[in-house]
Amino acid sequence: MNKIIVISAPSGAGKTTIVHYLIDQIPDLEFSISATSRQRRENEKEAKDYYFFTTNEFKAKINEKAFLEWEEVYKNQFYGTLKLEIDRIWGNNKIAIVDVDVIGGINIKDFYLDKCLSVFIMPPSVETLKKRLMKRNSESEKSIQIRLDKAQEEISRNQDFDAIIINENLELACRQIKDIVTKFISK
């Protein structure tokens, strides 16, 4: 059962919502909690939403080779998947589901190959992405623009994934991805 599902998308495309849907619908899945050096948002909890590290702590983990993948997504904002987290999930006889940035998703797929299903969540448009990010009320105008610039680059990599789901209608996107994941698990 040592399989891994990777869900990647630009920030604001709906990947976290879709991952929560999949976990609710497919009992064999367990969420892989990512690590980050970014500031914790008001509603986030340690070891539930992320493992929060300072930038220096995160860099120490990189030097220890503790990550399956990691990326400096924005200046001094690192994100990564701890190897121990995947081992913990597999030890529970579950399938890991990972919500990561695009480069991280590609790196995990390259590492696990056939044990991994990688899915790219495509926003319907960059304008829709901007509206979703602004609706969060958690970031400055400058931060949103940085995320939108990065989104353009990430969208250009969507062909590196096993499947692409356009999230224009959340209910439809959820059904489509559930079908893809269920087929992969049953192989």
The pLDDT of 13-27, averaged and rounded, is: 93
The domain locations on the chain are 4-186
| Domain 4-186, second-level architecture | 3-Layer(aba) Sandwich (3.40)
- pLDDT for 141: 78
pLDDT (mean) for 97-117 = 92
Task: Compute CA distances 99 → 63, 64, 127, whole Å.
Answer: 23, 23, 23
Dihedral sign from CA coordinates of 106, 145, 17, 158: negative
CA 47 and chain centroid, separation: 16
Paired tokens of 20? 């929560």
Region 37-48 average pLDDT = 92
CA 51/CA 46 separation, integer angstroms:
6
> Averaged over 109-120, what is the pLDDT?
95
**What is the predicted pLDDT for the residue at 16?**
87
pLDDT tens track for 132-168: 677 776 677 777 777 777 887 888 899 999 999 999 9
Cα(11)–Cα(174) distance, rounded to whole angstroms?
17
Query: For the chain, first and last CA: distance in Å?
Result: 10
Per-residue model confidence as pLDDT tens digits over 10-19: 877 888 899 9
* Reported pTM: 0.84
pLDDT at residue 66, rounded to an integer = 96
Neighbouring C-alpha atoms within 13 Å toward the C-beta of 109: 22
Tell me the C-alpha distance between 90 and 85, whole Å.
9
In Å, how far are 6, 58, 80, 117 from 86, measured between CA atoms? 12, 18, 12, 15
